[in-house]
Structure 1
């Protein structure tokens, strides 16, 4: 319904850096199923890349690239694949949480040449960046300032306690994304853990209050809508609606598109009616 109302010039362009499917379905799954987006993904771990390529659709392309600051580096494969990183796990920090010392043990190291986001030719458009690179997020944002000028949404992992040496904190990432014109929109997951020596032997993921990491969505500053193009407003509406059920943000974009005469005046009524009827 929303796509028919807006009629953007092209499909929403998703870039997924660290596309390993280990953490479940990506936020853009609903858009992909409806053939409303394309995906260009990057995954340096061989098994994860093979899995992505085995089940991809014609709208998806995946590459064996390590995205970073463009320098040579070492990819550190950890016992838990989800902790593989360009950074060195901080064993002191890991020791304060059950199982993390084991999960974060490095089983092999491989020299790699990282690629700057701005230099990757396979990325023609970028509306939505989803990133999970275990501590290298800030390097990716810094190497992608030109391409990110087009983007309207970023979903990234942030750390409150740094599991890796020299890992940027939530504050570092927040500052960089704000400088690039984004504002926080929503937490999609908040990860907490129980501090050692207290633990639950039956559940290594047991938590009390201690914050560890979170997945957070940033969006192009909707309070400065004049800074966005018509196409950016359309793609922000699509992402807000389909990926996060943020119907208020989508409606805000529709409102501004009407004000610019980009879509008919009744579009806001049609959109709100569709949300109330379908609930999605």
Structure 2
């Protein structure tokens, strides 16, 4: 049975019960220029973790970081958020930044203008405007300098250089990053850039599992016709990866109950509430003697909010049978 639901259904209830007081969520947003409300992590779905929320934003555009900082001062926020004017890559080195007609498409790789020109609406955004020489650094270098031991969720959108950022984050990844949202390309919009397959191999090699792809398409600029069934060619998207602490041989860094709870909350914020339920059930059955990790009552309350489940009988659900011994603890 499939039940329609909103993006997040567990974290609000967990917060109301005080069960989120024990965790602090750290989000790192690489390519943090705020172009829409969806880019404003602190004011969006992640706000449920405030005040136990820290956001680090990185962008090569110092003006964009300055504007974000100024906006934060006006908001009087109750979480920690900083925007740092740094270009992150795979190493500390001199590099060329290819600034495009729309700054959001700027990259460490030159735009593939001959290819871009074949698609509707792309040259106006992605063709080269000018280049500047910059210095890149790594996320690991920044975290070590700032004594940041853990990042829980990593979002990367740097127009083709995402793999470079990941390669410069090996230490922090090993310390237990739980989820990653990364922009990926399926064709060379930038010259010699890594593609989705390269990023997927890298992240699977670091024990991340692909959960979802949000995809973007473009049709040919020369064509006055377009299919109503196909939206054109798949060019890029956002790939969502999460860790799996339940699987055999999972990294010990993510098997701690506090880490699993964080992962459950992150999954819920991202809309993977079925995974959230699996993780909360796992915590309850394995660690439910500890009130901090007993989510039996919360699970029953959430499931009871779906009339179709109630009509079919909650007691018929395996998850309910598994957690019922922990309801009165």
For 2:156, the equivalent position in structure 1 comes to: 131
Consecutive unaligned residues in structure 2, runs of 5 or more: 1-12, 308-329
1:62 aligns with 2:69: no
For 2:218, the equivalent position in structure 1 comes to: 193
For 2:7, the equivalent position in structure 1 comes to: none
How many aligned positions are there?
272
Q: Distance in 1 between matches of 2:301 and 2:56?
A: 33
- Give runs of aligned pairs for residues 196-207 of structure 1, distance below 5 A: 196-199=221-224
Structure 1 residue 221 displacement after superposition: 2.4
Structure 1 residues 85 and 153, CA, compared in 2 at 3 Å: closer, same or farther?
same
1:85 aligns with 2:100: no
Structure 1 residues 254 and 99, CA, compared in 2 at 3 Å: closer, same or farther?
same
Structure 1 residues 60 and 199, CA, compared in 2 at 3 Å: closer, same or farther?
farther
1:218 aligned to which of 223, 236, 241: 241
Structure 1 residues 114 and 95, CA, compared in 2 at 3 Å: closer, same or farther?
same
For 1:30, the equivalent position in structure 2 comes to: 45
Consecutive unaligned residues in structure 1, runs of 5 or more: 201-206
Structure 1 residues 21 and 31, CA, compared in 2 at 3 Å: closer, same or farther?
same
Structure 1 residues 154 and 275, CA, compared in 2 at 3 Å: closer, same or farther?
farther
Choose 232-241 or 41-50, whichever is displaced more.
41-50
Q: What SS does the corresponding residue of 2:39 show, helix, strand or coil?
A: coil
Whether the 8 Å contact between 2:34 and 2:40 is mirrored in structure 1 is: no
Q: What SS does the corresponding residue of 2:38 show, helix, strand or coil?
A: coil
For 2:57, the equivalent position in structure 1 comes to: 41
Greater RCO structure (CA 8 Å; 6+ sep):
1
Whether the 8 Å contact between 2:185 and 2:235 is mirrored in structure 1 is: yes
Tell me the TM-score normalised to structure 2 length. Answer: 0.75
Tell me the TM-score normalised to structure 1 length. Answer: 0.87
Backbone CA RMSD of aligned residues = 2.5
Answer with 1 or 2: which has the greater Rg: 2
Q: Distance in 1 between matches of 2:266 and 2:287?
A: 21
Whether the 8 Å contact between 1:6 and 1:234 is mirrored in structure 2 is: no
